[in-house]
């Protein structure tokens, strides 16, 4: 039997990345129906290994999206832990130089052949 099924899933320690403790650890995943847990906000659970690799901003983003989605039914709402970048963000963040690849500055045409080849079709 494969070692990547439910056995692996149960062996992972799942934690709530929305409730970080003062000592830096995370609370155990889930909520009970006890009054003490009733005050806890909607949990965003990931394996501990993934939670420790995530930056603070990634954790905050995931928790924010999870809580915004809410829980409207009897089953929990699944939200992706990492969002996909939009086309604008990909172009901007990946170092796209835009107009300066082939431009006219003061009557002099500037271009970089390697950029022209790399960004062919985007210009």
Q: Tens digit of pLDDT for each residue in 86-106?
A: 665 555 545 555 555 556 656
Contact 12, 48 (CB under 8 A): yes
Residue numbers in the chain where pLDDT is lower than 70: 1-3, 34-40, 86-123
Q: What is d(CA 56, CA 61) in angstroms, rounded to the nearest whole number? A: 9
pTM above 0.85, yes or no: no
Q: 51 burial class (0-12, 13-18, 19+ CB within 10 angstroms)?
A: buried
Which among 35, 34, 33, 30 is positioned nearest to 18, based on CA atoms? 30
Contact 13, 48 (CB under 8 A): yes
Residue 29 DSSP label: S
């Amino acid at each position: 039997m494969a070692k990547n099924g439910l056995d692996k899933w149960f062996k992972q320690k799942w934690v709530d990345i929305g409730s970080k403790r003062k000592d830096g650890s995370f609370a155990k995943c889930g909520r009970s129906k006890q009054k003490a847990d009733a005050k806890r906000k909607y949990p965003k659970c990931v394996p501990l290994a993934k939670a420790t690799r995530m930056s603070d901003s990634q954790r905050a983003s995931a928790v924010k999206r999870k809580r915004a989605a809410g829980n409207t039914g009897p089953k929990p709402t699944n939200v992706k832990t990492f969002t996909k970048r939009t086309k604008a963000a990909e172009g901007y963040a990946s170092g796209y130089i835009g107009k300066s690849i082939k431009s006219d500055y003061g009557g002099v045409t500037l271009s970089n052949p390697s950029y022209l080849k790399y960004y062919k079709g985007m210009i």
